[in-house]
Structure 1
Amino acid sequence: MTAANTASQSPTERRVSARVGAISESATLAVDAKAKALKAAGRPVIGFGAGEPDFPTPDYIVEAAIAACTNPTYHRYTPAGGLPELKAAIAAKTARDSGYEVEPAQVLVTNGGKQAIYESFAALLDPGDEVIVPTPYWTTYPESIRLAGGVPVDVVADETTGYRVSVEQLEAARTPRSKVLLFVSPSNPTGAVYSREQVEAIGRWAAEHGLWVLTDEIYEHLVYGTAEFHSLPVVVPELRDKCVVVNGVAKTYAMTGWRVGWAIGPKDVIKAAANLQSHATSNVSNVAQAAALAAVSGDLDAVAKMREAFDRRRRTIVRMLNEIEGVECPEPEGAFYAYPSVKGLLGKEIRGRRPANSVELAEVILEEAEVAVVPGEAFGTPGYLRLSYALGDEDLVEGVSRMQKLLAEAE
């Protein structure tokens, strides 16, 4: 049953609320789950779906978690908004890594970046408030906005601009209902990184029009070549009082399963989000918080090694994808995703099938080449595929080679 049908039913007829019934499953996690299920069934599937580093969490972080397990203090409830020592360490890490000076009272520790995003939108949005969303977007953003009562407004950029939106595009999307700009650099799913000049122009535009900004900085340490990360409230200090920064340990320290993220913002917004969290989940697992404390308090040596590997894989996957006729893949400057246009392949025959869109093309690639990729429909732009290159070098080459062989048959 569709969300529209669910919404039209009376309250006594609805088994699932219209609000929750309208949520789509995370496409990236769905693709990853399908790939893992096929592997478990003995199929040699190579998955490019989930944005998950293939490295183990560094030993010193794991050791901190083991020690925390033996500490009776961590066997009890702790403050819902986060361990005081972790909030202080996150504030110090933020000043160290981006130059953004904040107080521990401005930090909320959450169950991963997803909770930080949802709670931030929930604290900021009233029903009908609009959020301007540069597109392609990560699948969770629009769903979090809708759950919080807001309305996502897509602003689409394509490969011709390196997937970066302009101030002119943002201004065209602004209405009297606009309240928040979502800003993400480096970007998931495209790997786009905005220059300092672009960050400043967008930030000053938001400030001029009194908009809030939610900026996701979780890929701050994963930039390559001459690209540089720039924190928006540092570049445009006048936004500090209307800016929420989301981050976490998942990507930088290979800690996706530990589920520790955070939001940084004005004290009143962070207090409101913490009140919500106190009823939703209470504190984040104390063992995971202890691990995160070790991560953000330590050096970035492990991150540098991972970034070196990601950079190597980045160059390999872009080269190999661009060797496929009908595929155009700009070089990503950050994160660990390639986002090629596959519009040149749609409608062509591939082993007796003519995929009309990127969903159908992804199905053909999975079934015929045993390679799992995520279609662009999940990110708001049909005609593209997202491939995470956060997997081993050999699997990466083997997976794209299978795609090359299959798609060479397109005619």
Structure 2
Amino acid sequence: MATFQIEGGHKLKGEITPQGAKNEALQILCAVLLTSEEVIIENIPDIRDVNKLITILKNLGVKTEKIAKGTYSFKADAPDLAYLESELFKEEGSSLRGSIMIVGPLLARFGKGYIPRPGGDKIGRRRLDTHFEGFINLGATFRYNKEERFYGVEAPNGLTGTYMLLDQASVTGTANIVMAAVLAKGTTTIYNAACEPYLQQLCKMLNSMGAKISGVGSNLLIIEGVERLGGCKHRILPDMIEIGSWIGLAAMTRSEITIKDVSWNNLGLIPDTFRKLGITLEQKGDDIFIPSQDSYEIQGYIDGSILTVADAPWPGFTPDLLSIVLVVCTQAKGSVLIHQKMFESRLFFVDKLIDMGAKIILCDPHRATVIGHNFQSTLKATTMVSPDIRAGISLLIAALSAKGTSTIHNIEQIDRGYENIDERLRAIGAKITRSEP
């Protein structure tokens, strides 16, 4: 396992530009399988999970060319479908949860799609029922090999549009079903669809390829199937989770940081949620400016009760930033209840923060109460292991604010979602070094 050594307690200063959105990239890359024509994608983040998916596409026979940093050309004119039943695919696909989204495009275009049971973060159950129930509604046949933990869907006579009400507003589930439905016969109506900016971007890309999707940005999508899709050029949004991470970093280290080119219109509740924690941030064009603050005070509700920050489907607050919010609150003035509704294991990293001196009560797997220090007592350096992407970046932020030198092991988890993070942090004054095994 690779390791970070972090000397905490230093103020940072400067500009940082967010990478392309990881969650959007995983959807967009799978969509290149829907056409035999060239698709050019810009602002692809250079991170482990995305690079794994690009490798899977290459092994599937997609012609891939890196044109410039973050810009690739893809052409799926002669994919090798035999790869889908190979041992190599079982190994590669099972290590990346995002690989599930190749199934919808393959099913739509070739009448079959397979995937090993995917891995990813150990943050609790992340069921796949929404994906496969959607495919079945479109007319596919589902099968599961329990011994090999291998899923398959087949529709040799093609898919047929239908009405469906999703049991949960799953982002990846909605994306997968949309990609299957664009080439189905007739009209598909998806109610309780996810409507995150990533999903909106996917729909806009598909429409530019010739799809007919209406209701983009709402939870009711109507898709008129077409016979084929063409090529396109698409640019990925900046990563809102990374933007929120840098806001939290600035607050915890009492630093002056400018986050460049954030696409304000796609940030939703993120700026206002951090403002409720007392953090000052200003919009300057399409940038976020966070001045150095000696303290920040959590707002209560108008009746005086304690603030609750909870996750919810878009346009609610994204669950991927709750770990960041929790860490930020350890040095705020006041208290807050963090309610992580979606994943029952995502708050378990708080024991590491408690070891560092944070005042946190883990009420149950979904809720934690944080009593802020107001910087009257700094966190103490310690040795930690990163359990997943979001907990990993949260622990890194805690270490950068702590007194002394901390060690974080298993930083491959952080690398899955953050591009060259140590180099970018050093550029604004962080004392961080990487040690390879």
**Same fold flag (TM > 0.5):** no
Determine which structure has the larger helix proportion and give its number.
Answer: 1
Determine which structure has the larger strand proportion and give its number.
Answer: 2
What TM-score comes out, normalization by structure 2 length?
0.28
